[in-house]
Structure 1
Amino acid sequence: MLWAWGEAESGALGMGPPTSAPPQRRRCENLPVAVKVDAVQAAIVQVSAGDAHCLACDELGGTYCWGRTREGQCGQLSITPVEQPRLMSELLHEWVVRVACGADASFALTAGGSLYQWGAVHVPSTALAHADLAGYGRSFDSVSDATRLMLRRSVSDFLSGRDGNEQPGDDQGGEPDEAAPETLGTRRELRPVPQRVPLPPGERASHVAAGFGFTVVALSGGGAVTFGTNDRFQLGLMDRMPRDVPTRVPALGQRRLVGVACGQQHAVVLDEGGAAWSWGLGSFGQLGHGRKMDERKPRRVDALWHMGRVEQVACGHLHSAFVLRPRPEVGAVHGVSEAFDAAAARLLGCGHAEYGQLGTGDAGNEGDAARDYALPRWIELPRESDEPSMVSCGAQHTCVLTVRGECLTFGWGSTGALGHGTFGYQLTAQPVAALRARRLVSVCAGTRHTLVIERGTEGGAALSRDLGNLLMLASAGGAGGGADFAIRAGRGPSARGFVAHRSVVACRCPRLLAMLALGSERFSRPPPAATPPAPEWQWPGQTATTGDASSEKASAALPELRLPSVRAPIFALLLSWIYTGRFQCTERLFLEQLAAAATLLRLPALTRECRALCAGEEGGGAQDGAQEGALGVPARATPTSSLGADLGALVESGSLPQSFASLRLEATDGCAYACPALLCCRCDFFRTMLHGSFREATAREQHTAVDLTPYGISLAELSLLLRFIYCGQVTCASSQSGGDLANLAPADALALIPHASALLMDDLKRLCEAVLVAVVDEENAAALLDVAERCFAVRLKATCADVLHAASRGFATTAGDSRST
């Protein structure tokens, strides 16, 4: 699940189109909001944010984009932003493992080391050769020869870095180039279609980062290449000449780089030895070299090298942040001293600190000398036990993820980019209270907004999303909702009716399943007399009560279960957890009541989650076991949701009653029964067959039937398909062991991919395609190419074509050698 906050006008928060009439969107969101992930087909593993757009990639190699797209950074040229993540079909033929955003450009790095770029591209321009270069109101060619020579030398010196600001040890440029004015400046081209970046022959990209108009690419064979604008030496090539072709950085040599970060006009890279190298704009000390000057080429940050090993780096517009694991023997270095724990990482920063983006506290108001730090300084976190695992920088704010999965932000917050519910700036690191104790796994700061990734439920984000949509559809009484019983929560005028599905509730809430089993023959029994105290649950007849209009209408003709001891708002949270594995609540009072309701209904996982949230709120996220919350448990992260496991266990046990699974699916060698509501919410094919204009005729038997024999689906294959529909994965493997991607057998993937294509199950097709791509070789490439053609599997087709092409070239080379011999 993705959470976002900050500037929202450009659609960078991915909340979807405004629902108000006329459409209006809040300019900023200062509290985390959920990103609308309707198009996401697998778990998001990485996200990147630019000036006003975002990119993400999932575990199956898909790329998603949303936000501003005026420059084509979201794959199209339009003044209308992309309001929510969309899957980029232009990159489906590639397995994308990493994405990166520049200010208005986008990049995707593939598993094969290829790099794609789209959006605004800055290339060298020759237009200034005929412009008012002299500033006298005349063109360059109209001035005298002496003036022209002076201007050429001046421009040449500027471009080559010979501007009088050289430092001892800096290499000097060559002789002045008479054609220098021809290459001065850049022009911006808009390229909405992803294009492959030409890397040096035989090289593959391993990391990529981008700033304002320039890009740094680390190569798998060692070293790096850069291209783009170069007015402040941000390409590290000792001159100011812009480049439109990736050019190797000589000062880095063949060092193997493990991290790359770019600010507005500076860059920092990490080598495998734990050293940081920085270059480019240094006017605010953001390079960490102890001086506020530009660096023409990469230079090792000695202050960090002597402190310890740098594990991660991030760059804001004018500041840099580092996650460093100190050396045990480190003492005082460059005037900085600290009591170090050799086993714990620490956070450091350098550069501009006026708005608290370096966590300086009140020191930022002590004059200009305290607003810029030319040497890395230690950034204090709220608790001594906090250890940073990841850091990301926006324009003027910083976001940190701790090893406990807590998100800390500080710096400028005028757009709400800190997520604290205010629009002021924060001088010291503070946790985002709305996400306290959630299972966060990654953070990313854009220019004026922030995103975080929360660990998904078992079965993936798609399962949680689809079941949540099913609950909303059933409450609204829409076609395909398929609710088969109602629950009335609360007492008196505040009571409210809810609708639910027996198949889902049976998996997720055994207590309610027992109630259903005991009371299945007593739904029409009138309510008991009001003289004794009301029991915790009872089975009354259908009665007309007040509540939400859509829910009341949907539940009017359904058997009803009454829960007077659970308030309606609390049961709404509980029902959300049953269907999606999560709920959104930060109020302590509601959490305590939800824990009590979960205990009543025998939901130990939900009880533990509520207690963990309450304990985290009271203890401020203290160390595990150090403090206890009001509910008597240690503060700790919330447990992993078992949504997929619960539904999967029910499918495996075959204990779903046929009265719940009322749809008969006919295979080539038998039949199986399934819940029509679950099929419709998870698969467009069944939704169209049962509720569209092409729906199947109702069979004469009690159950509606769908004939799948024309698609050649066997009973064993149908069982795998149903398992994926019910629990979001084909195998029983957990996400910790790699899930389907690591455990699905290629033979099963080969059997399932044509059925997934025929039944419009794109997420399953992409999974099978990913499994098959990993086993393509010269022997099976031709057969798998035929499968890819029939199933429209573009990535598998491209992989097979590449293997066959390489094999044919090798055969031709061998044949040529034989003839020559």
Structure 2
Amino acid sequence: MRDEARNNAAASGGCSVRMWGYLPAASPQRAPLLQPTPVPVTPLNDPLKTVCNGGCGFGIAISESGKLNTWGSTTELGQCYLISGKQQELPEPYPLPTESPIVQAAGGWAHCAAVTGGGEVFTWGWSECVPSIQPTPDESEQVQGDDASACAPSTSLQSSPRNNAGASHTKPSSHAPPLRNSGALPGKQSGRQTHRNLTCKTTDSKGAEEILKKRKIVSFEHGESPESPTAAEENVFAPPCLVNLDPGIRISIVAAGGRHTLALSDVGHVWGWGYGGEGQLGLGTRMRIVSSPQLIPCFNSPENGISSSGAPIPGSSIKAIACGGRHSAIVTDAGALLTFGWGLYGQVGQGSNEDELSPCLVSAMGGLQVTGIAAGLWHTLCITDIGDVYAFGGNQFGQLGVGGNSAEMSPRLIDAPLLEDESCVAVACGARHSVVLTGSGKIFAWGWNKYGQLGLGDNNNRDLPVQVTMNDGGRAANIACGWWHTLATVHIK
């Protein structure tokens, strides 16, 4: 393993990408990787540079030339070729319909999104998460108010909004044309919008029709393992689509959650689309299907920066975004933390288990300056400018890192001995595990560890941060979490 790491480092100018956790097809006998393992060198002489958050059983990274690479997907345990690329041990470029370099990407439960250097966004995967492509008159209807029903095809996921879904396999047709979504961005949004059915019907094209065949999807949300799915439904998946935004809008960051997506522009505005039944899109309602990008009103009154709850919100633009399973978090340019969406486990940090339908200031953070955020299936983490980490939400597997397994309804400082002399600079969340990167290049992990996603050499859960050891003494520069795995970019000494 050490020789392989040196070879990988040599090929990438002193950097190596490491992986651990559940990444089938990228490990012998598809067994979980219990400790950091070098990602094999690609044969394209285009080393991986940046690892990306998200993915159920597959890794996502961007190469030095700006190619989006995926690896580790599998065919029999619920992954979808359209989302993760083909089953493979080696990273390979994902076939996006653009020549522009990719600068950032994220994976959700069953969809992905990527940002180009020109500020465009491509998204693909489960059709509920992809903006409408070709709506027909009978597929459109006006959704009114909080009691609006879903317009998407009826599945158990619509009838039981507490369920998430993964996706099953199928190889996409290489002849399908690139698709552009048809939804135009309105200037201002009230939260009550026209929504379209998201079946992504493109029956005029045989190639696209073949791609959009119904695929099996499975749900692992309630703690089940990837080997034992408890539910199966059918849905439709969409190939990569260019998200249609108004001229002049340049997106710099995307975040993908269970079934929703947020996009942050270079001037600090945030758009959202996908599933919004718990308020995770921040539009003020429980609209279940939002089929085109909607501007999220983070500052309702630009003159005085007052939120809908009446609390003053420092700042005037957004600088960071994160999507959890059914909740979202954003940070203003003044370091204020806002959350919205499902609050059952306290993951919105408002001191209760109520949902928040609009961005709401996390007042418990007081005058602290938040610099980084991450969100898991049921929990949220944030970092302050002095390198402290705060956690709140579900804690069933110790994913908050505060000891024990009790949920926290408000942010709580992770006051762990191993972090006492460390300053944290980045944070990432898997479905039920957490990882931080310190300024000294150390990685600490805690939470659910059934598949080795903590990288500690075993399958034991941890409720306090534990350092992840690199066998060759490498210094980490970048971290990312998938739902059941962890990735890191490491500089070799």
- Structure 2 matches for 1:240-389, cutoff 5 A? 240-241=286-287, 242-252=289-299, 255-304=316-365, 306-325=366-385, 344-362=386-404, 364=405, 371-381=406-416, 382-389=418-425
Contact 1:266-1:279 within 8 A present in 2 as well: yes
On the 8 A contact 2:349/2:393 being kept in 1, the answer is: yes
How far is the alpha carbon of 1:383 from its aligned partner?
Answer: 4.3
What is the CA-CA distance between 1:189 and the residue it aligns to? 3.4
Shift of 1:67: 3.0
Helix, strand or coil for the counterpart of 1:303?
Answer: helix
- Quote the residue 2:35 is aligned against: 31
Give the 5 Å matches for 1:572-651.
Answer: 639=493
Please tell me the residue identity of whatever aligns with 1:387.
Answer: S
2: distance between equivalents of 1:256 and 1:172?
Answer: 19
Distance 1:172 1:43 in 2: 42
After TM superposition, the structure 1 stretch with the greater mean CA deviation from structure 2, 380-389 or 432-441, is 432-441
- Residue 90 (structure 2) pairs with residue 84 (structure 1): yes
> Which of 425, 432, 436 is the equivalent residue of 1:396?
432
Equivalent residue number for residue 251 of structure 2: 205
- Alignment check: 8 A CA contact 1:75 1:118 kept: no
How much does 1:227 deviate?
0.6
Q: Is the contact made by 1:65 and 1:74 (CA closer than 8 Å) also made in structure 2?
A: no
Give how far 1:235 is off.
1.1
Q: Secondary structure at the match of 1:158?
A: coil
Aligned counterparts of 2:190 and 2:92: Cα–Cα separation in 1: 48
The change in CA–CA distance for 1:155 and 1:198 in structure 2 (over 3 A counts) is: closer
Offset of residue 431 of structure 1: 0.6
**Retained in 2: the 8 A contact 1:68–1:74?**
no
2-side partners of 1:30 and 1:8: how far apart?
11
Equivalent AA in structure 1 for residue 20 of structure 2? W
**Structure with the larger helix share:** 1
Over 3 Å counting, the alpha-carbon distance change for 1:124 and 1:258 in structure 2 is closer
Q: Partners in 2 of 1:214 and 1:224 — Cα distance?
A: 13
**CA positional deviation for 1:283:** 0.9
Find the counterpart in structure 2 of residue 71 from structure 1: 80
Q: Tell me, which stretches of 5 or more residues in structure 2 are unaligned?
A: 1-15, 151-188, 201-233, 303-315
Query: Match of 2:205?
Result: none
The change in CA–CA distance for 1:244 and 1:401 in structure 2 (over 3 A counts) is same
> In structure 2, what is the Cα distance between the partners aligned to 1:86 and 1:394?
23
Alignment of 1:2-17 (within 5 A): 2-9=17-24, 11=25, 14-15=26-27
The residue aligned with 1:57 is 62
Q: Which residues of structure 1 form unaligned runs of 5+?
A: 19-24, 131-151, 162-170, 326-343, 365-370, 457-638, 640-821
Q: Distance in 2 between matches of 1:248 and 1:155?
A: 18
Cα deviations across residues 285-336 of structure 1 (Å, max 9, x unaligned)?
Answer: 11111121100111121222x24110100001000001112xxxxxxxxxxx
How far off its partner does 1:157 sit? 4.6
Question: C-alpha separation between the residues in 2 aligned to 1:191 and 1:75?
Answer: 12
Counterpart CA distance in 2 for 1:156 and 1:271 is: 28
CA apart distance, 1:82: 2.8
Deviation at 1:184, TM superposition (A): 11
Cα distance, 1:183–1:109 mapped onto 2, change above 3 Å? closer
* Structure 1 residue 222: Cα displacement: 3.1
Seen in structure 2, the aligned counterparts of structure 1 residues 405 and 235 have a Cα distance that, compared at 3 Å, is same
**Alpha-carbon distance in structure 2 between the residues aligned to 1:41 and 1:425:** 36
Residues 171-200 of structure 1, C-alpha deviations (whole Å, 9 max, x = no match): 9988xx9x99x97999953233x3211113
Q: How does 1:183-194 map to 2 (within 5 A)?
A: 188-192=235-239, 194=240
Q: Is the 1:266–1:281 contact (alpha carbons within 8 Å) kept by the matching residues of 2?
A: yes
Are the aligned partners of 1:160 and 1:173 in contact in 2 as well (CA < 8 Å)? no
Q: Who is 1:421 aligned against?
A: 457
Measured after TM superposition, the shift of residue 221 of structure 1 is: 2.8
The one-letter code of the counterpart of 2:341 is: G
- Indicate conservation of the 8 Å contact 1:72/1:119, yes or no: no
Deviations 1:654-680 (A, max 9, x none): xxxxxxxxxxxxxxxxxxxxxxxxxxx
- Identify if the C-alpha distance between structure 1 residues 430 and 436 changes in structure 2 by more than 3 Å, giving closer, same or farther: farther
Shift of 1:267: 0.6
**Alignment check: 8 A CA contact 1:310 1:324 kept:** yes
Judging changes above 3 Å, is the alpha-carbon distance between structure 1 residues 190 and 303 closer, same or farther for their aligned structure 2 residues? same
Q: Is 1:30–1:418's contact at 8 Å kept on the other side of the alignment?
A: yes
Could you say which structure has the greater relative contact order, defined with CA pairs below 8 angstroms and 6 or more residues apart?
2
Pairwise CA RMSD of aligned residues? 3.3
> Could you say if the C-alpha distance between residues 195 and 384 of structure 1 is closer, same or farther in structure 2, counting changes exceeding 3 Å?
same
Question: Could you say if the C-alpha distance between residues 199 and 188 of structure 1 is closer, same or farther in structure 2, counting changes exceeding 3 Å?
Answer: farther
How many pairs does the alignment contain?
381
CA contact (8 A) 1:72 1:191 kept: no
